[in-house]
């Protein structure tokens, strides 16, 4: 392995995080607003009411503005795997590439082709075919999320593969296992449904602004009805899928769960922290209290993690140093096995090069015994296996708290809209006005939890990020980081300005 500068790893991570988080401002709106446009247009098709066509075209305009910058910020992500994480992309290309190729083949082309009909086909194709095209854009957008999340799910829980010592990479053994990986399934359902919540919240925000300003009132009320039904159903579903996602994390990535809950000492009948302030001076193995303040719901974490109130949930210390009572192997032991695996792999490669088949076979046999721990062989200390607890804890709790508010908000809007008094609820409209922003915070916090929580791993247990990077100079990555930051910000300023102008203009221009 080539030794790389630690600052290169940090900058490479920063660049990927920056570009991904920027991209994720726009994607969830696309995922959900595409379906909302399809709902609006279907109502128009069924009723023939021109008001619904006007509503459809208005939201489609906002969809288009958002879609363009989503596409612009997205292309770099696919190629960044190669440019900045080339060692990783070789190691996982045999598995990771297939979902990405399928994504391009099915989802992106569906999206791109029907997008032109959706925007410019009003007078060129029949009403029915136009509506069909809008549905295809929605399905295509969401299909594209399936495949990238299958790839992400595999990184969190690598299944359906084996390491090939000759090619020095992971190779796919079972495509179905990769696609139906439980982490990938829960990740897709949780992420796409949270996108529906985001888009519904966006519609709520814009519509509430109209109601407060007493402009386009009828359109705003009609939009709120559809968005609050969609948002209510989706936000309840997000709760269920979130529970499933947390259960899968507990089973497959217990260190991440322990960080999400700030749990250092494992407990039987562990409580769930409802709210708390992390003690930032706490380190694994010391005796300090992990919290300056916390409120716990007794037994709830055990129920969440293992579907059983009285069950044991391991903490960070159990996972780092081991716990014989509960049969948990510590990172320290796994590191020893990992280092043996790497030494045997090197011996195997050397013996193959010198055509010494007997030595090679013996080395390979030894490697096979410990290969599941090979990633741990790259760690310098057991504590390196612990993600930054404060970031993971805070982002997880921010997401969870905001997530639990959305069903209430959407429910309230649905109730008062059906009652016909929504525009009179002076307390509710400002809440709606900020719902979009809150949903955006929840989105970003969710991804921070998922991705910071799996550190130090690029591939869980098998490949730490520090050996996944391209062997670049730190300066190169600093320059491209600055370039991305500059150009994305320039584009974001334009996007927000155009969006605000379009909202201010309202639907009349159509």
Partner 1 sequence: MISNLDYVTLQQIWWVLCSVVGALFLFLIFVQGGQTLLWQVAKTDTESSLVVNSLGRKWELPFTTLVLFGGALFASFPKFYSTSFGGAYWVWVLILFTFIIQAVSYEYRSKPGNVWGRKTYESFMFINGSVGVLLIGAAVGTFYTGSAFSLNDMNQVTWQYTLGGVNLRGLEAAFSLFNLSLGLFLVFNARVLGALYLLNNIDLSSVAQLEERLRKAVMTNFICSLPFLLYVVVSILLRKGFGVDENGVVSMVSFKYLFNLLALPHLLLLLLGGLGLVIWGVLLGALKGSYRGIWPAGLGTVLVGLCVLCLPAFNGTAFYPSTFDLQSSLTIYNASSSEYTLMVMTYVALFIPFLLAYVAYLWKQMDSKKISIEDALDHEAY
**Minimum distance from residue 290 beta carbon to partner 1 (Å):** 38
- Decide whether 206 or 392 has the Cβ nearer to partner 1: 206
Q: Which of residues 169-228 bind partner 1 (CB under 8 A)?
A: 169, 171-173, 175
User: Residue 39: which residues within 8 A CB-CB, separation 6 or more?
Assistant: 226, 230
Cβ distance 300 to 271 under 8 Å?
yes
Q: Which of residues 476-495 bind partner 1 (CB under 8 A)?
A: 476, 480, 483, 487, 490-491, 493-495
Cβ distance 367 to 400 under 8 Å?
no
Q: Which of residues 125-144 bind partner 1 (CB under 8 A)?
A: 125, 129
Identify the residue among 109, 240, 293, 441 touching partner 1 (CB under 8 A): 109
Number of residues in the chain:
510
d(CA 446, CA 460): 18
d(CA 190, CA 187): 5
d(CA 144, CA 319): 36
- Decide whether 279 or 480 has the Cβ nearer to partner 1: 480
Q: Which of 214, 224, 238 is nearest to 31 (CA)?
A: 238
**Minimum distance from residue 257 beta carbon to partner 1 (Å):** 31
Contact flag: residue 87 with partner 1 (CB under 8 A): yes
User: How distant, in Å, are the alpha carbons of 246, 286, 307, 398, 400 from that of 393?
Assistant: 13, 19, 21, 9, 11
Phi, psi of 474 (to 5 degrees): -60, -35
- Decide whether 338 or 403 has the Cβ nearer to partner 1: 338
Contact flag: residue 441 with partner 1 (CB under 8 A): no
Query: Which of 110-118, 284-292, 295-303, 425-433 is the region at the interface with partner 1 (rule: CB under 8 A)?
Result: 110-118
DSSP letter string, 151-163:
HHHHHHS--SEEE
CA-CA-CA-CA torsion sign (315, 317, 322, 323): negative
Query: Which of 121-129, 237-245, 262-270, 315-323 is the region at the interface with partner 1 (rule: CB under 8 A)?
Result: 121-129
CA 482, 486, 488: angle at the middle one, nearest 5?
115
Contact flag: residue 343 with partner 1 (CB under 8 A): no
d(CA 223, CA 37): 10
**Minimum distance from residue 197 beta carbon to partner 1 (Å):** 25
Identify the residue among 114, 188, 247, 367 touching partner 1 (CB under 8 A): 114
Contact flag: residue 505 with partner 1 (CB under 8 A): yes
**Minimum distance from residue 366 beta carbon to partner 1 (Å):** 18
Contact flag: residue 120 with partner 1 (CB under 8 A): yes
Contact flag: residue 113 with partner 1 (CB under 8 A): yes
- Decide whether 138 or 238 has the Cβ nearer to partner 1: 138
Contact flag: residue 6 with partner 1 (CB under 8 A): no
Phi, psi of 292 (to 5 degrees): -85, -30
Could you tell me where the DSSP H helices lie in 354-464? 357-370, 389-419, 428-452
**Minimum distance from residue 274 beta carbon to partner 1 (Å):** 42
User: What count of Cα atoms within 13 Å lies in the side-chain half-sphere of residue 406?
Assistant: 40
Contact flag: residue 30 with partner 1 (CB under 8 A): no
Cβ distance 41 to 56 under 8 Å?
yes
- Decide whether 75 or 408 has the Cβ nearer to partner 1: 75
Q: Which of residues 148-167 bind partner 1 (CB under 8 A)?
A: 164, 167
User: Residue 22: which residues within 8 A CB-CB, separation 6 or more?
Assistant: 73, 484, 488, 492
User: Residue 265: which residues within 8 A CB-CB, separation 6 or more?
Assistant: 315, 317, 318
Contact flag: residue 500 with partner 1 (CB under 8 A): yes
**Minimum distance from residue 102 beta carbon to partner 1 (Å):** 6
**Minimum distance from residue 141 beta carbon to partner 1 (Å):** 13
Identify the residue among 108, 209, 396, 447 touching partner 1 (CB under 8 A): 108
Q: What is the maximum alpha-carbon separation in the chain?
A: 84
Identify the residue among 47, 48, 49, 78 touching partner 1 (CB under 8 A): 78
d(CA 161, CA 151): 13
Q: Which of residues 352-411 bind partner 1 (CB under 8 A)?
A: 353
Contact flag: residue 73 with partner 1 (CB under 8 A): yes
- Decide whether 64 or 456 has the Cβ nearer to partner 1: 64
Cβ distance 207 to 220 under 8 Å?
yes
Contact flag: residue 65 with partner 1 (CB under 8 A): yes
Contact flag: residue 51 with partner 1 (CB under 8 A): no
- Decide whether 216 or 282 has the Cβ nearer to partner 1: 216
Contact flag: residue 502 with partner 1 (CB under 8 A): yes
């Amino acid at each position: 392995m080539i030794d790389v500068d630690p600052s290169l790893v940090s900058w490479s991570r920063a660049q990927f995080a920056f570009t991904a988080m920027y991209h994720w401002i726009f994607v969830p709106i696309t995922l959900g607003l595409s379906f909302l446009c399809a709902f609006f247009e279907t109502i128009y098709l069924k009723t023939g009411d021109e008001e619904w066509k006007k509503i459809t075209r208005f939201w489609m305009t906002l969809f288009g503005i958002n879609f363009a910058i989503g596409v612009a910020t997205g292309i770099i992500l696919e190629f960044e795997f190669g440019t900045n994480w080339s060692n990783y992309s070789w190691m996982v290309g045999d598995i990771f590439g297939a979902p990405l190729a399928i994504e391009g083949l099915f989802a992106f082309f569906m999206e791109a082709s029907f997008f032109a009909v959706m925007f410019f086909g009003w007078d060129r194709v029949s009403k029915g075919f136009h509506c069909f095209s809008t549905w295809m854009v929605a399905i295509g957008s969401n299909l594209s999320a399936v495949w990238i999340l299958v790839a992400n799910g595999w990184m969190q829980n690598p299944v359906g593969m084996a390491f090939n010592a000759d090619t020095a990479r992971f190779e796919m053994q079972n495509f179905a296992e990769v696609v139906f990986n439980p982490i990938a399934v829960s990740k897709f359902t949780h992420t796409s449904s949270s996108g529906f919540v985001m888009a519904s919240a966006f519609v709520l925000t814009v519509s509430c602004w109209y109601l407060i300003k007493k402009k386009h009132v009828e359109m705003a009320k009609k939009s709120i009805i559809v968005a609050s039904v969609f948002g209510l159903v989706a936000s309840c579903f997000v709760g269920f899928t979130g529970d499933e996602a947390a259960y899968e994390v507990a089973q497959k990535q217990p260190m991440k769960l322990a960080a999400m809950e700030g749990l250092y000492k494992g407990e039987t009948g562990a409580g769930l922290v409802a709210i708390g302030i992390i003690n930032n001076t706490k380190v694994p193995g010391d005796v300090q209290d992990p919290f300056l303040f916390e409120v716990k719901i007794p037994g709830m974490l055990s129920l969440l993690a293992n579907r059983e109130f009285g069950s044991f949930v391991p903490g960070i210390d159990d996972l780092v140093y081991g716990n014989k009572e509960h049969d948990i192997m510590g990172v320290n032991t796994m590191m020893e096995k990992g280092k043996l695996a790497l030494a045997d792999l090197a011996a195997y490669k050397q013996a193959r090069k010198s055509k010494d088949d007997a030595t090679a076979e013996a080395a390979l046999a030894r490697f096979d015994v410990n290969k599941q721990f090979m990633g741990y062989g790259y760690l310098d200390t057991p504590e390196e296996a612990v993600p930054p607890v404060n970031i993971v804890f805070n982002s997880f709790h921010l997401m969870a708290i905001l997530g639990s508010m959305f069903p209430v908000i959407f429910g309230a809007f649905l109730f008062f809209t059906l009652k016909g008094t929504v525009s009179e609820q002076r307390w509710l409209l400002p809440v709606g006005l900020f719902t979009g922003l809150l949903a955006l915070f929840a989105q970003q916090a969710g991804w921070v939890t998922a991705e910071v929580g799996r550190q130090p791993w690029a591939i869980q247990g098998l490949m730490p990020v520090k050996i996944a990077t391209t062997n670049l100079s730190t300066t190169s990555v600093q320059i491209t980081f600055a370039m991305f930051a500059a150009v994305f910000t320039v584009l974001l300023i334009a996007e927000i300005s155009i969006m605000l102008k379009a909202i201010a203009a309202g639907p009349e221009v159509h």
